[in-house]
Amino acid sequence: MNANHIMAAAAATFCALALGLAAEPARAADASPTPEASAAPTPVVTIVPATATPTPVASAAAGSVTTETPPPAAFPSAPATLSLSDAEKIALASSPQLAVSRAAIEQATAGVDIARSAQLPNVSAQASSDRSKAVFRGTNGTGGTAGASTSSALVTSNNANVNLRQLIIDGGRVAAQVASARFSTDAARLSLVRDIQTVILSVAQQYYAALQSRHQLQAARQSLSVAQVQERLVRAQFRAGVAARADVLTAQLPVAQAQLAVAQALNGEASNLAALLATIGVPAQANVTLTDDTSVSHSQPPLDQILQTSLSQRADLLAANANLQAAQENVRAARLGRFPVLAGTASDGVASTSPSGGNFGNSYSVGLALSFPIFDGGLIRAQTALTEAQANTAQANLQTAQLNVRLNVQQAYLGVSTASAGLTAANAELDQARVVLSVTNAQYRAGVTTLPLLLNAQNQLTRAQSDQVNALYAYKTAQQQLLYAEGILSP
């Protein structure tokens, strides 16, 4: 076989491989510019849970051990197709963090009722019955003790009464305690609002990370396809005698690297999906498919407006201010401990008047009780110092919260600006890669370029698609972080 025959065989091999490869770039160039237009079907990843080992527990019989498996916990179910809104709703309904915050509100509300009880009338009932033995000593007629006699008798005493106490004046101490408890309740409610926003942000971050992993898997598979075509081309050249064995080995390296990237992308998608399910309180083994979200909104208010909104609406900042007001009311209540306390008292009841416990008679009393501290060993002074220190701490926490709000808004705003610029650049890169592929494909069909250049253009398009997906979800995550920093993130 001469050189002309070898070149003819190689040319025929190139054309056969190129026809199959050129069809795919042509369809890719005509496809919609959105990442999902060239998306491969999402694989279904089945995770087999490990078998639980029964925990040995001691039985009632001495010396014997039995095994008991604890009953499975009740988890919320997830729909087969899960959107971001669905994930947020499930998380808000099942998040243990929010359950703790709701319990804190209940505790603070109970504190208000406890403080208010001192302002309301205090009514109590009391009843008693006792039987005692009384001893009587008699005397003689002359008044001496000689010849004196003793006698005893059983005496029964029954009585019942109702007591009323009403606070009249205490200088406002109880009112300050009630106000402090109400401010603490407000702080607990505001903390719940912030915790809800935290859960929503965490769900959104996990959701976008899972979608990003899905598109990265699609890009990895496309890279593998390009590497496999390149390897087949070099093998054909080797069989035609126009390529060396080293060229075949060199072409196999990108295939192995692409296969590793596909395996890593599969693991990344499954891991991010499992993390999302765990975040919303659903078992990680649930088989769900995420709804894709590639919408982009570039509307963004100016920094000054965002900062003003955050300083007036962020729940954690408002909670810090409520805690400061509660601490200040505690200081006022402690100082009013030196104020006299005036209360009205009343009592009405019956008591037995005969030794047998019968013949009841009525008794009642109405009066005022005034008390004021004279010497308490420094208790009020120490309580006042304690509450003042707590108020100083609350004031410092408020100032720290204000600084954190400004810092969070500044960082989040810059993050959105950076992510927006990155998305714009990635979109331009993707558009350019599509144009290059289209032009290279046309040149190859016209016979004015080589197949390796066409493969390189396809590979550049795959990288551009991956960069665009990463920039897209980085921008969407940055938007969620800005809404969280502003304090207006909601389902």
The predicted structure's pLDDT at residue 300: 83
pLDDT tens string 109-144: 999 999 999 999 999 999 998 888 877 676 655 555
SS3 content of the chain, % helix, strand, coil (to 5): 65, 15, 20
Q: What per-residue confidence (pLDDT) applies to 394?
A: 97
Contact indicator for 203, 272 with CB cutoff of 8 Å: no
Residues 455-469, mean pLDDT to the nearest whole number? 87
- At 338-354, the pLDDT tens digits run 999 999 999 999 988 88
> Which of 158, 6, 26 lies closest to 441 in space, CA to CA?
26
- Token reading at 40: 């491969």
The pair of three-digit structure tokens given for residue 380, joined into one six-digit string = 């009020």
CA–CA gap between residue 319 and residue 309 (Å, rounded): 16
**How large is the average pLDDT for residues 194-214?**
93
Question: Can you name the CATH fold of 14-27+78-125+169-213+236-245+288-341+379-486?
Answer: Outer membrane efflux proteins (OEP) (1.20.1600)
Q: Which of 215, 201, 219, 216 is nearest to 294 (CA)?
A: 215
Instruction: Round to whole Å and give the CA distance between 167 and 344.
Output: 6
The string of pLDDT tens digits covering residues 157-175 is 889 999 999 999 999 999 9
Instruction: Write down the pTM of the prediction.
Output: 0.73
Average pLDDT over residues 76-102: 84
Range picked from 14-18, 294-298, 327-331, 466-470 for highest mean pLDDT? 327-331
Q: Of 122-136, 221-235, 290-304, 402-416, which one has max mean pLDDT?
A: 402-416
Q: What is the pLDDT of residue 36?
A: 36
Asked if residue 138 lies in contact with residue 149, where contact means CB atoms within 8 angstroms, the answer is yes
> What is the distance between the alpha carbons of residues 125 and 123, in angstroms, rounded to a whole number?
7
DSSP labels for 304-362?
HHHHHHHHHH-HHHHHHHHHHHHHHHHHHHHHGGGS-EEEEEEEEEEEE-STBS-SEEE
More confident residue, 95 or 112: 112
Of 323, 326, 327, 341, residue with least CA distance to 173? 341
CA-based angle 453:455:459, to the nearest 5? 115
pLDDT at 9: 41
- Distance from C-alpha of 89 to C-alpha of 347, rounded to nearest angstrom: 57
Instruction: Classify 381 in phi/psi space as left (phi over 0), alpha (psi -120 to 50) or beta.
Output: alpha
